[in-house]
A and B are shown apart, each in its own frame.
Chain A
Amino acid sequence: MSELSAGGVVIDDTFAEAFDMRATALLITADSAKWAMQAAETMIGFATSVIACGCEAGIDRPLSAADTPDGRSGVRVLLFAVSTAELQKQVQNRVSQCVLTSVGSACYSGLEVGDDKLSLGAAIRYFGDGWQIAKKIGDRRYWRVPVMDGEFVCESTTWLTKRAVGGGNLIIMGATPKKTLAAAEAAVEAMRGVQDVIMPFPGGIVRSGSKVGSKYRSAVASTNHLYCPTLKGAVESAIGPEIGSVLEIVIDGLTSEAVAAAMRAGLRAIADLGPARGALRVGAGNYGGRLGKHHYRLRELAP
Chain B
Amino acid sequence: MSRFTFKLRAPPPQRVDLSPLIPERLTGKNVREIAALPINTTRVALAVGDLFQLLDGDRDEIVFEGGAERLDRIGAGMGAGSIRVSGEVGVEAGRLMEGGKLDIDGNAGPFAGSGMHGGKLTIGRNVGERLGGPLAGETEGMTGGVIHVLGDAGPRAGDRMRRGFVLIEGASGECAGSRMIAGTIAIGGNAGSLPGYLMNRGTILIAGGVERMGSTFLDCGAFELVAARLLATYVAGVSARLGDAFHGSLRRYAGDLAALGKGEILMRSA
Is A150 a contact of B233 with CB atoms below 8 Å?
no
Is B223 a contact of A137 with CB atoms below 8 Å?
no
Q: A129-147: which residues lie under 8 A (CB-CB) from chain B?
A: 131, 133-138, 142, 144
Confirm or deny: B201 has a beta carbon within 8 angstroms of a beta carbon on chain A. Answer: yes
Is A72 a contact of B229 with CB atoms below 8 Å?
yes
Chain A contact-residue range equals 10 to 19
Within the complex, the shortest CB–CB distance from A149 to chain B, in Å, comes to 10
Q: B67-120: which residues lie under 8 A (CB-CB) from chain A?
A: none
* A residues near B223, Cβ cutoff 8 Å: 150-151
Is A106 a contact of B234 with CB atoms below 8 Å?
no
User: CB < 8 Å: which of B201, B234, B262, B264 contacts A137?
Assistant: B234
Within the complex, the shortest CB–CB distance from A73 to chain B, in Å, comes to 12
* B residues near A29, Cβ cutoff 8 Å: 226
Within the complex, the shortest CB–CB distance from A153 to chain B, in Å, comes to 4
User: CB < 8 Å: which of A106, A133, A136 contacts B226?
Assistant: A106
Q: A42-97: which residues lie under 8 A (CB-CB) from chain B?
A: 69-72
Cross-chain pair count, CB within 8 angstroms? 42
User: CB < 8 Å: which of A72, A131, A138, A144 contacts B227?
Assistant: A144
Contact status of A131 and B262, CB under 8 A, knowing A71-B229, A136-B163? yes
Tell me the complex Cα distance, A137–B264, Å. Answer: 16
Confirm or deny: B135 has a beta carbon within 8 angstroms of a beta carbon on chain A. Answer: no
Is B226 a contact of A135 with CB atoms below 8 Å?
no
Is A137 a contact of B225 with CB atoms below 8 Å?
no
Confirm or deny: B230 has a beta carbon within 8 angstroms of a beta carbon on chain A. Answer: yes
Contact digits for A94-124, partner B, Cβ 8 Å, 1 yes 0 no: 0000000000001000000000000000000
Contact status of A151 and B225, CB under 8 A, knowing A133-B201, A134-B182? yes
Within the complex, the shortest CB–CB distance from A26 to chain B, in Å, comes to 15
Most B CB contacts (10 A, CB to CB) among A135, A142, A150, A153 go to A135
Confirm or deny: B126 has a beta carbon within 8 angstroms of a beta carbon on chain A. Answer: no
* B residues near A138, Cβ cutoff 8 Å: 234
Closest to B203 in A: A135
* B residues near A70, Cβ cutoff 8 Å: 226, 229-230, 233
Within the complex, the shortest CB–CB distance from B268 to chain A, in Å, comes to 18
Is A153 a contact of B163 with CB atoms below 8 Å?
no
Is A151 a contact of B226 with CB atoms below 8 Å?
yes
Is A137 a contact of B231 with CB atoms below 8 Å?
yes
* B residues near A131, Cβ cutoff 8 Å: 262
* A residues near B227, Cβ cutoff 8 Å: 135, 142, 144, 151, 153
Tell me the complex Cα distance, A144–B231, Å. Answer: 13
Closest to B254 in A: A131
Tell me the complex Cα distance, A131–B264, Å. Answer: 12
> Could you pull out 5 A-B pairs where Cβ atoms are within 8 angstroms?
A29-B226, A70-B230, A137-B234, A142-B230, A153-B226
Q: Which 4 A-B pairs have the closest CB atoms?
A: A70-B229, A153-B226, A137-B234, A106-B226
Partner-B contacts on A (CB < 8 A): 29, 69-72, 106, 131, 133-138, 142, 144, 150-151, 153
